[in-house]
Amino acid sequence: MTRRRVFVAGLGAITPLGATWLKSVGRLAAGHSAVRPVTAFDVTGFPSTVAAPVPERFPQSPDRRLGLCQLAANEAWSMSQVTSPRARVGIYVGAESGRASIATILALTRAAGGGRTFDHRSFGVAARELASQIDAATVSPAAVASALAKEYGAAGPVQTLSIACASGAAAILEGARAIRLGVCDVALCGGVGADVDPLMLAGFGKLSALSSRGESCPFDIRRDGFVVGEGAAMVVLSADPHESVAEITGLGRTLDAYHLTQPDPQGDGAARAMQAALRDAQRDGVDYIQAHGTSTRLNDEVEARAIHRVFGEHTPQVYVSSVKGALGHWVAGAGAVGFLCALEAVRSGVLFPTAGLHTPDPTCVLRHVMSRAVQVPITAALCNAFAFGGVNVSLVVEKGKV
């Protein structure tokens, strides 16, 4: 069976730096950072008091995940101008579960005894009364993909991937795979993160994953944790090369099978994902890597080690940067916006700098893009997305060759 090619026909995003991908590009190229003090809720006593949120005026939707995704999808879909029978259009979205409102959660806590005791009877009564206030669609991971399918009339495969920080990249990988196999002709793919809230800041803080200094600086010697961000990034993939932006040529996905929250210290799973993507693309290397680069001490060091393992003596020739320095960590949406950065590199030759990176850690010796964007011809780029649970996804994107 001949493997079909996969072309990128459109792209879109809403980020903390812009309501569209087009508006975000210039600010990312200039090295701007969206990290700022949290003002949406009281962060007194929190382990981290900063984030990279999308302005509250966006979006106008009860489910913030869906609202963000709709804005990104609309930009991508409008750019693509694709046409295909409904049954041949698929939707693939990386998304985590939503949550009931903080007011509802607090009401349940008070009913249960305020955390000092647990009154089962009072909790049960309150839960029944409050259940009617919770929209089931806003707390289901699958709701975003299903809503997008309805909006775009997609009657092909609809899939939600909820595998933490690799979700968005895995959704793009699965959409590309479906087109290769002829399961669909068009796929709307990407990821969304909407996690700037008290529960996520408290949870990641308990894991000591957040920056206590309040700075996202991947690969920098001062890095001490990531900053939570939010946004959505989407692409339209097509089997038709007509007016394509670029082509996805390499897919790689592995599992560390090492630890729930820590990567394999030798970077084995990350290296194997990159190697698999390169083999799939039938390439020996790439010109640029959009790194996972979280700004945590262990993850950045392990990723740098894996890059050296894969590219060997050619590592000094490969540009590397991480968008998380500017936009924070979008969790389920992180891999999708990382892919857009790799896509922008082959599309326009613009390599975004790693915001916050001033003094590279000696354990992370790479050809970093720092301060401002670099503009060079890029034939092929690789995007990495790694996650809790040891999931690793790598994607190779190239200039489309019709």
Catalytic residue check, 292: yes
- Is the same domain home to 119 and 247? no
What's the CATH number where 278 sits? 3.40.47.10
Residue whose structure tokens are 């698999």: 276
Question: Rounded to whole angstroms, how far apart are CA atoms 60 and 202?
Answer: 26
- Is the same domain home to 117 and 71? no
Sign (positive or negative) of CA dihedral 223, 229, 250, 247: negative
- Is the same domain home to 166 and 302? yes
Max CA separation in the chain (angstroms) = 66
Helices 297-311 & 268-281, crossing angle to 10 degrees? Answer: 40
**Catalytic residue, candidates 69, 217, 292, 364:** 292
Give every CB contact of residue 51 below 8 A, 6+ residues apart in sequence.
35, 36, 38, 196, 201, 227, 228, 229, 230, 328
Q: pLDDT exceeding 90 applies to what percent of the chain?
A: 76
Mean pLDDT for the chain overall? 92
Name the residue range of residue 218's domain. Answer: 6-98+140-398
- Is the same domain home to 126 and 153? no
Q: Look up the pTM and report it.
A: 0.93
Catalytic residue check, 329: yes
pLDDT band at 269; cut points 50, 70, 90 = very high
Structure confidence at residue 1 (pLDDT): 62
Number of domains in the chain: 2
- Is the same domain home to 130 and 260? no
- Is the same domain home to 46 and 165? yes
SS3 341: helix
Question: Rounded to whole angstroms, how far apart are CA atoms 312 and 273?
Answer: 16
Query: What are the tokens at 104?
Result: 């509802």
Q: What is the DSSP letter of 244?
A: -
Query: What are the tokens at 375?
Result: 């503009």
* Cβ atoms of 230 and 333 closer than 8 Å: yes
Query: What are the tokens at 2?
Result: 């001949």
- Is the same domain home to 160 and 259? yes
The string of pLDDT tens digits covering residues 357-386 is 999 999 999 999 999 999 999 999 999 999
Structure confidence at residue 133 (pLDDT): 67
Catalytic residue check, 184: no
**Catalytic residue, candidates 329, 341, 364, 368:** 329
Q: Per the domain annotation, does 1 fall within a domain? A: no
- Is the same domain home to 79 and 191? yes
- Is the same domain home to 207 and 339? yes
The string of pLDDT tens digits covering residues 287-301 is 999 999 999 999 999
**Among 14, 25, 6, which residue's Cα sits nearest to residue 347?**
25
